[in-house]
Structure 1
Amino acid sequence: MTIERLLAATCAVRPAGDDDAVDGVPSQVVARPASAQETSALLRTCSAHGLAVVVRGHGSKLGWGRPPERVDVVLETGAMAQLVEHSRGDLVATAGAGMPLSRLRHLLAGARHELVVDDLAVGRGTTAGGSTLGGAVATNLSGPRRLRAGPLRDLVIGVRLVLADGTVARAGGKVVKNVAGYDLGKLVTGSFGTLAVITEVTVRLHPEPSEVRQVHALVPRGRLAPVLAHLVAGRLAPHNLDLHARPGRDVQVSVGLGGGPGSTQHRADLLAAELSAPGLAGDAVAVTDPERTDLQEVAPVVPGAAAPMATDEEVAGRPTLLTVTARLSGIPELVQVANDHRLTVTGSAGVGVLRATLPEPTPVPAVLEAVAAVRAATTGLGGSTVVLDAPPAVKSALDPAGTWGPVPGLELMRRVKAQFDPGRTLAPGRFVGGL
């Protein structure tokens, strides 16, 4: 019996095509369950027959991490994309895992609420739709505004998920303050789909600010450390504090502010005046009125500034994409090391989490040298380096340890994987240590 016929009784199933490969690993069928119950039936059958399953929302982050050891079934979450509940008084929303972040933002806008998560995957993958809610949780997707609200893992207050053997479980609740059982929401956040299939997520929301402003400064290399120190020590409560550094160019620093009408503009003007002082940014400072506060949609308007901020898609082909972290005081040193190895750095200098990219044509030895140099720098600065994505030639040259770097608690993670997925049904080999 073919896999398609075997799974046909559980949910909608179709043969896989070339576009359904997962990071170069071909799959056999694509299943599209429409509920937790159908997901349960699907996984129960897959587990019983030893079929490997990889979950896909929009496919924008399927290349992140290691290629799975094998893929028999791609499980699409797009049929679970409904807004289940929006509790306006409690600032809480529950939605299916397949809900696109862009659509969720639109649905919440009528109440002037928002999930403070910046979609860093817009335009990537098989569609231009960016991330789904489930995909964001599975990869712990957090962008510039995490300075305001914390990482996504802190905004998830409840989940419904299906384990590899088909068991349906709930954790958390529908209010911000709850103590309902183990915090499985935090456990599966950032697990890359290796522990369970998320079918529904409850998240904490924030009110949209009435007014937003961005203050941009073009900062010479020698002044980056005092500028960042000044901003970190300030009392203006920014929503984001970001930088964009290309090799051989001045660094663009952007500060997002939000709040009531009038007061936000006043704070922005005060900050612009501070940054214009001698010894900081000087004259290359400007205030803008963006539609939203995330870094990728803000084009620099600083006089003499270079072209708009690059995203991963502005470099040729499939770039090598690193996530690098460091203590805040070490950000200038980390940026310099990365730029010295031709990496372009973008991210939050306010929380010490940055992304660094190299274009695909970079020779593999040069990529490996850059990764080693940046990893040594981040380790010395109290952080870490993860090769989140890379061309196949680079991935094949990196073993799992080279991709993820040193991972404290790896043996504990192995035991958790064995408890949740003893048959290695879910994305085997994709995560840390070959989990």
Structure 2
Amino acid sequence: MVTSTSPAAPVDLAALNRSLDGAGEIREAGPDDMVDGVPASAVARPSSVAALSALLREATGQGLVTVARGAGTAMSWGNPPERADLLLETTALDRLVEHEAGDLVVVAQAGLAMRDLQERVGRAGQELVADLPPERLAAGSTVGGALATGPSGPRRLQRLALRDLVLGATVVLADGTVTASGGKVVKNVAGYDLAKLMTGSLGTLGVIVQAAFRLHPARPERATVTRAGPTEEVARLARQVVASQLAPAAVELDRAAGSDQATLAVLLEGTHDAVRSRSAEAAALVGGEVGEAPPSWWARMPGGDVTAKATATLTGVSDLLRTARAAEQEHGAAVAVRGSAVGVLHLGITAPDPAAVAAVVGRLRAAAPSAREGTVTVLVAPPELRAGLDAWGPVAGLDLMRSIKNQLDPGRNLAPGRFVGGI
């Protein structure tokens, strides 16, 4: 589904500035202030939660559409919004609020860069296992931005995805209401786990201003076992590693576009002796080589004009790899596949025209025909390739999701159209 855009609403900059009451700044938007090709009219950068709340209340009162922005590393994800009258930057909300090292809990504001959060908890020998793509980390991806996009990194195999590590979140709704749910908060919204609800919603339900996370102790040693070979064989070996007693921290696959070969990378973490022993066992199991560092492609998005996320069952990963190769041959496309052998992968798709892109995505979805068996979601696609492209595919519970949008943002003032079903 391609979201159509509407003309921007008139913006009363003076009233928006008054709402900040000196806690932040507002300016007219420049040529770079866009959301996936949709230009904004104004940009605000509040420096307190109270100012952000008052700003949203004023913007909604003016009938404006507001889109939140952290470091801007994923503004092209999802569909373009219907409008983007006001860009709300969260980067001034960048405090590490609390770090209870003894309880393995950290509380941070939404504008804090994830790399800075990782560095600060790392001083206590701890880590937030988010595993964002290195390119996003380097560009300053924020706590709020990470939650809004719901990343899935290699080490979710043992320690789950970011949404599973969120203990609670404080969120500002479109009408300016500041609300919260989960741990480390004082006021709850009855019936909703806001932290998980907001994760992956692309800012369409509320603006995240603070979140609490569960941390893990950093493991002192690591080793990586790699093995390259025919795609089917590598996928089979990956399943064997996952089913073994090796307790790998991650089992990743990489298949370059157009190739019948793939690479398996198994990450082992723990104490020195345990890692040394288990890596030797893993190398013997897959016939691979042991090294200290993961391969250069580790956790990175594959290249391609279109980026998609695919989920599959453990056995369905082989079907997905096989289908990617078949789709290349049928439609003159290139489909790179990279990600977890337990079934969360990213695809880099390059195809000659919009029809070929849509055909490749449809072919991949046919390999995982239900939400339980797997899904394929288009994350990023340039405008010239969006024609006829359904970014989300079949979605279970869409009516319920629309109902939640209607309850939290009845005026559709927060990034309408970016999320599934035009939410």
Q: TM-score, normalised by structure 1?
A: 0.88
Which residue does the alignment assign to 2:369? 379
Distance 1:334 1:210, change over 3 A: same
Query: Which residues in structure 2 correspond to 1:156-305 (within 5 Å)?
Result: 156-174=166-184, 182-246=192-256, 247-276=258-287, 285-290=288-293, 298-299=295-296
Deviations 1:105-148 (A, max 9, x none): 1111110100001112x435xx9514211111111112111112
CA drift of 1:313 comes to: 7.4
SS of 1:158's equivalent in the other structure is strand
Question: For residues 123 and 208 of structure 1, do their structure 2 counterparts lie closer, same or farther at Cα, with a shift above 3 Å needed?
Answer: same
Once residues 110 and 310 of structure 1 are traced to their aligned partners in structure 2, the CA distance between those partners, rounded to angstroms, is 23
Alignment correspondent of 1:421: 409
Q: Residue 12 of structure 1 contacts residue 32 of structure 1 at CA under 8 Å; is this kept in 2?
A: yes
Separation (CA, whole Å) in 1 of partners of 2:249 and 2:235: 20
Counterpart in 1 of 2:144? 134
Distance in 1 between residues matched to 2:266 and 2:13, nearest whole Å: 52
The aligned counterpart of 2:340 is: 348
Q: For the Cα contact (< 8 Å) 2:96–2:107, is it kept in 1?
A: yes
Quote the residue 1:327 is aligned against: 313
Q: CA RMSD in A?
A: 2.1
What is the CA distance between 1:219 and its match in structure 2?
2.4
Structure-1 separation of matches of 2:265 and 2:30? 43
Secondary structure class of the residue paired with 2:418: coil
Give distance in 1, aligned partners of 2:314 and 2:336. Answer: 18
Q: Per the alignment, do residues 262 and 310 of structure 1 end up closer, same or farther by CA in structure 2, a change over 3 Å counting?
A: closer
Q: Is the CA contact (8 Å cut-off) linking 1:92 and 1:174 kept in structure 2?
A: no
Distance in structure 2 (CA, Å) of the matches to 1:325 and 1:18: 36
Task: Select 1:64's aligned residue among 77, 96, 100.
Answer: 77
Corresponding pairs, count: 400
Deviation at 1:5, TM superposition (A): 1.6
Q: Give 1:69's aligned amino acid.
A: E
Q: 1:111 to 1:35 in 2, by over 3 A?
A: same
Which stretches of structure 1, 4 residues or longer, exceed 3 Å deviation after superposition? 178-182, 308-315
Find the counterpart in structure 1 of residue 421 from structure 2: 433
Structure 1, unaligned runs of 5 or more = 277-284, 300-307
Does structure 1 conserve the Cα–Cα contact (< 8 Å) formed by 2:150 and 2:163? yes
| Cα distance, 1:3 vs structure 2 | 2.8
Classify the secondary structure of the residue corresponding to 1:217: strand
Match of 1:5 among 14, 30, 43: 14
TM-score scaled by structure 2? 0.90
The unaligned stretches of length 5 or more in structure 2 are 1-9, 329-333
Give the CA deviation at 1:409: 0.9
> Could you say if the C-alpha distance between residues 34 and 179 of structure 1 is closer, same or farther in structure 2, counting changes exceeding 3 Å?
closer
Preserved contact between residue 154 and residue 340 of structure 2 (Cα < 8 Å)? yes
AA matched with 2:135: G
Q: Distance in 2 between matches of 1:63 and 1:333?
A: 29
CA contact (8 A) 1:171 1:181 kept: no
1:363 aligns with 2:353: yes
Match of 2:104 among 91, 113, 121: 91
Query: Identity rate of aligned residues, in percent?
Result: 44
Instruction: For residue 226 of structure 1, report the CA deviation from its aligned partner.
Output: 2.7
